[in-house]
Amino acid sequence: MLAYTLAGLLVGFLVGLTGVGGGSLMTPLLMFVFGIPPMVAVGTDLLFAAITKLNGAVAHGLRRTVDWRVVGLLGTGSVPAALATTAALDRWQEAGAQLDTLVTSALGAALILTSLALVFKRRLHRVGRELAGRLNGDWTRWRPALTVVTGLLLGALVTLSSVGAGALGAAILLFLYPRLPTVRVVGTDIAHAVPLTAIAGLGHLHLGSVDPALLGSLLLGSLPGIYLGSHLSANIPERVMRPVLASMLMAIGVKFIW
């Protein structure tokens, strides 16, 4: 169990250092290094994410850096999608389907999308700002529906892979709400991620794909890791960390798919 605690420490440190969601790092680590089955890695990481993100969501809420209307729109799509995806996994599992293959493919796709979001986040923000200026009222009219659709996609993807509620969700919000201050985008993304990962994680718990002992060991290491990483993040330029991390996630994602 000490190895799992150290893994939690490492992932927590990287999350604090880079701001990238833990699922992008934790799930591949559990599968590659420790040989944890894909379904168990995803299910355990979902509850791990819900617990570790809760503190951040509360902090942003107290600082009033959460747009609760956007959280509600995202949740309108993501919560039903998470429940529907869990129900589908349950039915397929009862039918004897090989869910690990499905989860591995979804994880690869999610990691590739996350790496692209890291690289093109600023460009997406700029394009969103240009569209908002050009379309004016039309953009405002369509944005709620697009936010719900985003929630639907994130709900399914996160339930299948445990990845997408962090960097990918934030990048999409920057595109849809380019005038929203970055700190509110981050706070809104985290606030939405907590119920999404909790519901998806509880769904996996119902499916039997959560390891409680593993979860406890990961949490034991992650909390001090996040604290250390967040305090060191100011000393490492983002322009250095972002391409390195994006390249690593892209390579892992490609390996999972092919």
Segment 9-20, tens digit of pLDDT = 888 777 766 666
Which DSSP category does 178 fall into?
T
Mean pLDDT of 48-56: 85
φ/ψ of 97, rounded to 5, equals -70, 150
Higher pLDDT, 248 or 201: 201
Nearest to 122, CA basis, from 64, 66, 59, 171: 171
Mean pLDDT of 204-218: 94
Roughly what angle, to the nearest 10 degrees, separates helices 238-257 and 2-18? 130
Whether pLDDT at 21 is above 70: no
Mean pLDDT of 61-81: 95
What pLDDT does residue 68 have? 96
pTM, rounded to two decimals: 0.90
What pLDDT does residue 92 have? 92
46 and 199 in contact (C-beta within 8 Å)?
A: no
Which of 45-49, 77-81, 221-225 is least confident? 221-225
